[in-house]
Amino acid sequence: MRDVAIIGIGETQIGELWDKSLRELGIEAGLKAIRDAGVSGEEVDMLYVGNMSAGKLINQEHVAPMIADYAGLDDIPAVRIESGGASGGMALAEGYISVASGFDDIVVVGGAEKMTDVNDEEAKKILSSTADQEWETVCGATFDSLHAMMARYHMNKYGTTKDQFAEVIVKNHSNASNNPNAQYPRAIPKNFVMNAPMVSDPLGMFDCAPLSDGGAAVVLCPAEYVDNYNGDPVKILGVGHGADHIALHDRREIGGMKATRIAAEKAFKNSNISSKDIDFAEVHDNYSISEIVAIEDLGFFKKGEGGPATEEGRTALNSEISINTSGGLKAKGQPVGAVGINQAIEAAIQLRGDAGDRQVEDARYGLTHNVGGTGASAVVHILERWSE
């Protein structure tokens, strides 16, 4: 397999973008990435698009060729990759494999979601349809309540506290305050989080990532070709997929995610590095509890130490390991199908040294972690700063 580089990145503002359609979000991100890479449209071999639910959100299936078409790339084959919240990361993995194999040379991997054309209740139902429809959501479980169960389990088993959940949120909003593309680019005080209306006990409004519109794209090419393009590449060092039962009640335990552990193990193995080498990570914090579970399963902290570590500031910017420097899903936003690509873009910005006030000092290895459903699928990418 060939080494693969990210040579271009582009993302839209994330937010409630009333005046932009899915196709416009996809096109904006894709064209920014292509321009950043300095490739021409004709050079692109394939487009992968991560998208969770355009069928239900905007009544359009077959979105990948639609986005390619409207970006002026109507000759470029395009396919959609869906794995719930992990759609973007799974699309990136497919793009990586396609370039690594030699089947394609220049691949654009995009992700986009348009969530605000339906009302919040409907959008929440659609998110919940990434859990087990037949055995969970039909019985009344929601995406929020399933994560609340994981939170309660973690509190009960490891002594994690609502205060520690709040520290995740305060940190991520603080990081987002330095990210101009974030949906909520502002720090918030801890009492906001602690006193927010309850969504599903113990998770309050600020413990939950928002519903967002947004698009993101990266351009991949074989590492040996990077000199032909604009430069400022970063290397994709390793990729790993993981899986678990789709329904929470079928899992061996719900204080951690087996899918994350499998994916991380494979990605580290493919990269020949370990969790100790990672300088920063974008992890799937769709809920505050999710970040705590993730930093444990990824091996950054022992099981049960995610909450205390967060409280002690060991995941803050330029501490022991910088977690969600972009603001994460929580504060940068959650345009579901784009999330995995947004994470890769933050990693690329950090590894290029372009992150400004949220820059991780001397960042060499970054990790991205993208989860589908309540943890039935996960994908981990490890990226490395470019060196000649």
Residue 211 per-residue DSSP state = P
Contacts (CB under 8 A) with a copy of itself, residues 315-374: 372-373
Q: How far is the CB of 36 from a copy of itself (least distance, A)?
A: 23
Q: Which two tokens stand for residue 23?
A: 């196709």
Q: Give the one residue of 5, 33, 37, 52 binding a copy of itself; rule: CB under 8 A.
A: 52
Number of amino acids touching a copy of itself (CB under 8 A): 62
**Which stretches does DSSP call E strand in 115-177?**
none
Q: In a 10 Å sphere around its CB, with 0-12 CB exposed, 13-18 middle and 19+ buried, how is residue 31 labelled?
A: middle
C-alpha dist (Å) from residue 250 to 241, 245, 254, 376: 20, 6, 9, 11
Position 198 contacts a copy of itself (CB under 8 A):
no
Whole-angstrom distance, CA of residue 95 vs CA of residue 78: 11
Q: How far apart are CA 294 and CA 297, in angstroms?
A: 5
Judged by DSSP in three states, 201 sits in coil
Candidates 41, 77, 308, 353; binder of a copy of itself (CB under 8 A) is 77
Binding of a copy of itself by 105 (CB under 8 A): no
Q: State which residue, 206 or 268, has the beta carbon closest to a copy of itself.
A: 268
| Residue 84 contacts a copy of itself per CB under 8 A | yes
Q: Given its phi and psi angles, is residue 49 left (phi above 0), alpha (psi -120 to 50 degrees) or beta?
A: beta
> CA-to-CA distance for 322 and 300, rounded, in angstroms?
11
- Smallest distance from a copy of itself to CB 169, Å: 26
**Least spacing, CB of residue 250 vs a copy of itself, in Å:** 7
User: Which residues lie below 8 Å from residue 236, measured CB to CB, with a gap of 6+?
Assistant: 3, 4, 5, 6, 96, 220, 381, 382, 383
- Asked if 108 interacts with a copy of itself (CB under 8 A), we say no
Among 53, 172, 200, 334, binds a copy of itself (CB under 8 A): 53
Query: In this complex, which beta carbon is closest to a copy of itself, that of residue 134 or of residue 388?
Result: 134
Only segment of 7-15, 90-98, 159-167, 287-295 that touches a copy of itself (CB under 8 A):
90-98
Rg of the Cα atoms in the chain: 19
Pick the closer one to a copy of itself by CB: 103 or 190: 103
Asked if 21 interacts with a copy of itself (CB under 8 A), we say yes
Q: Which residues of the shown chain bind a copy of itself in the complex (CB under 8 A)?
A: 1, 21, 23, 46, 52-53, 55-56, 58-62, 64-66, 68-69, 74-84, 90, 94, 97-98, 100-103, 126, 129-134, 239, 241-247, 250, 258-259, 262-263, 372-373, 376-377, 379
